[in-house]
Amino acid sequence: MFLGVEIGGTKLQVGVGTADGRLVGKVTRLQVDPTKCAQGVRALIIDGVARTIAESGRDQREIQGIGVGFGGPFDVRTGRTIKSHQVDGWEDFALVEWFESAFNLPTAVGNDSDLAGWAEATLGAGKGAETVVYSNIGSGIGGAIVRKGELYDGQGFGSAEIGHLRIIARDVGKSWRTLEDLASGWALDRIACETLGDDRATSRDLAAAAKIGDPRALAAWEQAVEYWGVAFANVATLLCPNVIVVGGGVALQGDFLLNGLREVFHRNVFAPFRDCVELRLAKLGECMVVQGALLLAGNRTVTSSASSCG
């Protein structure tokens, strides 16, 4: 048995499962308070791990190792976080060393989007495909590349940062804007407030208004879909994967999202690739990072400070 941990900007999840990503029992979910910074999150991790082991009915001695999906860039060569875009205090932190000291278990850490993509490619919407690209559209926008079951992590500190693709310039001579600037969950929340005239409005409210034909909401939603579709077309033009899997909170809009994405994608992708790259919605739900963390723990693709590279 292994522990899978997700360290997000707004939530912490911990689950017990097997090396093939299968969860055993209920996943513990705790709310992250960003004002308490990274130190507060680490206290939450200790609490979450203790609760999960106790509630799973497992003996702690059955746990062989821990896999962790970290919500930000992570350097697998050093076992250290680079930073979190949501929670202060994670800059250049020795996360692998901290886990192994806190729990006396070998620990492997990777980026949360990478692990979500690995889980979707192995167990979810990309299962059976040779090459899978994953992108989550949530508070931020991340990504992953999985080829023949293997996660591609660039030079050891990530890859597929789809949210940081430059999509459009603000004005002639000005800096380019990223996909996250234009169409992340946070960007859509802001757009929803402006469009609907309600400072409590969210991206879900924007989508709901667009579905019933509100002209301003529909225009804003279609603009976001255009940005996402163009970004995925660029990714497909470069990599020509079999499948692009779309996850994150925005993917909960289902066919209302997918149908529009496919239209924009087909219009913009390199024409010879148009009919050989399929867009699909993620299947695993909110536990996909935990399942990817279990795969990571079981496969030991990231090594702890106490072990050699495998």
- Is 309's pLDDT higher than 50? no
Provide the phi-psi class of 8: left if phi over 0, else alpha when psi is between -120 and 50, else beta. beta
**pLDDT score of 288:** 94
**pLDDT score of 249:** 86
**pLDDT score of 86:** 83
Smallest Cα–Cα separation from 99: which of 63, 67, 76? 67
**pLDDT, tens digit (0-9, with 9 covering 90-100), for 272-305:** 999 999 999 999 988 999 999 999 999 874 444 3
- Is 114's pLDDT higher than 50? yes
H or E segment and range at residue 45: helix 37-56
Provide the phi-psi class of 248: left if phi over 0, else alpha when psi is between -120 and 50, else beta. left
- Under a CB-based contact definition with an 8 Å cutoff, are residues 27 and 290 in contact? yes
Q: Cα–Cα distance between 236 and 233 in angstroms, integer?
A: 5
What pLDDT band is residue 219 in, cutting at 50, 70 and 90? very high
**pLDDT score of 93:** 96
Whether residue 235 sits in one domain with residue 105: no
Q: Mean pLDDT for the chain?
A: 90
Whether residue 101 sits in one domain with residue 233: no
**pLDDT, tens digit (0-9, with 9 covering 90-100), for 9-52:** 888 999 999 999 999 988 999 999 989 999 999 999 999 999 99
Mean pLDDT computed over 257-286: 95
| % of residues, the chain, pLDDT over 90 | 74
Whether residue 20 sits in one domain with residue 52: yes
In a domain, 103, yes or no: yes
Q: Please report the beta strands in the chain, taking only residues with DSSP state E, as ranges in sequence order.
A: 2-7, 11-17, 28-31, 65-70, 74-75, 80-81, 107-111, 131-137, 141-147, 150-152, 166-169, 176-178, 243-247, 278-281
- pTM of this prediction exceeds 0.75: yes
- Is 308's pLDDT higher than 50? no
Mean pLDDT computed over 236-247: 96
Whether residue 184 sits in one domain with residue 240: yes
**Beta strand pairing status for 80-81 and 243-247?**
unpaired
**pLDDT score of 171:** 67
- What CATH code is carried by the domain that includes residue 231? 3.30.420.40
- Of residues 85 and 239, more confidently modeled: 239
Q: Cα–Cα distance between 291 and 150 in angstroms, integer?
A: 15
Smallest Cα–Cα separation from 276: which of 228, 240, 230, 227? 240
Whether residue 100 sits in one domain with residue 175: no
With vertex at residue 244, the alpha carbon angle to CA 265 and CA 109, rounded to the nearest 5 degrees, is 140
In a domain, 43, yes or no: yes
In a domain, 6, yes or no: yes
Mean pLDDT computed over 146-150: 92
In a domain, 163, yes or no: yes
In a domain, 309, yes or no: no
Whether residue 65 sits in one domain with residue 173: no
Whether residue 272 sits in one domain with residue 138: yes
In a domain, 304, yes or no: no
Whether residue 149 sits in one domain with residue 209: yes
How many domains is the chain partitioned into structurally?
2
Q: Which residues contact 123 (CB under 8 A, 6 or more apart)?
A: 21, 284, 291
What pLDDT band is residue 310 in, cutting at 50, 70 and 90? very low
- Is 306's pLDDT higher than 60? no
With vertex at residue 232, the alpha carbon angle to CA 226 and CA 238, rounded to the nearest 5 degrees, is 135
- Under a CB-based contact definition with an 8 Å cutoff, are residues 142 and 162 in contact? yes
In a domain, 307, yes or no: no
Q: Cα–Cα distance between 192 and 209 in angstroms, integer?
A: 10
Whether residue 182 sits in one domain with residue 86: no
Whether residue 266 sits in one domain with residue 224: yes
H or E segment and range at residue 167: strand 166-169
List the domain range (segments joined by +) for residue 29: 2-115+287-299
**In Å, what is the CA distance from 126 to each residue of 44, 149, 151, 246, 293?**
32, 10, 13, 10, 17
Q: What letter represents residue 248's amino acid? A: G
In a domain, 305, yes or no: no
Q: Cα–Cα distance between 29 and 234 in angstroms, integer?
A: 35
Whether residue 183 sits in one domain with residue 222: yes
**pLDDT, tens digit (0-9, with 9 covering 90-100), for 96-105:** 999 999 999 9
**Tokens 């919500």 sit on residue:** 71
Whether residue 62 sits in one domain with residue 43: yes
| Burial class (CB within 10 angstroms; exposed 0-12, middle 13-18, buried 19+) of 16 | buried
